[in-house]
Structure 1
């Protein structure tokens, strides 16, 4: 296992699980029941992720006249749901954490059905049809969601339920720790992929930046259009623009057996961390975000 694999398969998941534990200590069951009772925010977030994001990715692939391999790589990325990283950024930005976690979980489950459909069409349209049968690692995907997100958050909620004073004391330290871990992971990702960085940015840097900004802009615009409060707007903005890069890489390299298709995914990851970091800096420094 090289350094890049060590970071992506061990350090990053472990770090995210610890962060999710701290995140759970800020949540109560009412946070989730409120979302279910008023599902407008979930419907907006899922529509952005599952419908508009692939459409934007497809349009950009055509507009930028990407070669077939790069185009399919972009579509892999655009068809993937948000990942645990979006939950981390939402926490530091003081967004609606329960909404973020709910969107990640639901979109991840639904995408098991949507990704094969989207990618089959993309492979045929862009002329790289290799007669590959796309079968997502369903069990691995569910386990990833459970181990990294659902279980740690549930444990954190239990801790808050039984020792609310401890949970409240740890809220600020955990938010600071989340920011520090985010920065360390970002630097580690850059260092581990330094040799691929230049080529990746040359091949897909601009189009992936446009995709990232466009999807985040879509999230913010739609949330405001339907009069969601600021905390929910932050969550939907982040969920619309932070994708599950790990799942995307698995699809490109393990299922489609094409390492080159991972180039747009790697480039997007850089922009994703940068724009996520900017949002964390802008919103995280506020002492409080009200509901308006």
Structure 2
């Protein structure tokens, strides 16, 4: 069956258009996205300064308003009012697809409840770009995005991810990705993984191998640049029986060492012959209890 002509697919009527924008390479923007950004009366942008660069590259002069995580709830009502009054508005974030680890879901939810037509305009996504080139199983996968910063909450999430029988995906900043790799290895062992960096940009890179090998590669670099998408494969954990008083060993190690929880758990697990995840759980629990 032949594709319909572009005019047959033309969007009509007032709506909220959720528009994906490039994550690096400007050529990844779609023809439909360009048309929508030109035709709407207003673009709600996460950062208007950033979006202005994109619009200027394609000679688009549509006016903008800022809509980000700090004002989304307040400005959603204004956006919905305009659409109900007959306007069409596009929602964009700094890069990629709105609502995927980016602002937008509050607006989309409120618009849906108000009876506003919500139209996705799909395009670039670091999640899908990374998975497509990773070479890890994707018949099923779990997207986690950014982990919380608090150690206890991070551990609880990582512990849950360790039990998943399929690939999972995390986002991380370049300054914290080495720490994340260490935490993952401590909790779930040396899993197969792929780290995608600078996706679609000139210095795009995929690092493949066990978590420990990727960590060693990064540790040898003076600096790591570019947002990181980390995909971790599944490997069945082996049960190892504890033959010591783990809590006592951990308390002693905490008193004697200033190492990070992940580094301390790794060395203890190796010395005691215990699963890294079990030791890491005890380190975090007892560290929190002691106020360290």
- The one of the two structures with greater contact order (alpha-carbon pairs below 8 A, sep at least 6) is 1
Normalized against structure 1, the TM-score is what?
A: 0.20
Q: Which has the larger radius of gyration?
A: 2
TM-score with structure 2 length normalisation? 0.20
* Larger strand share, 1 or 2: 2
Structure holding more helix per residue: 1
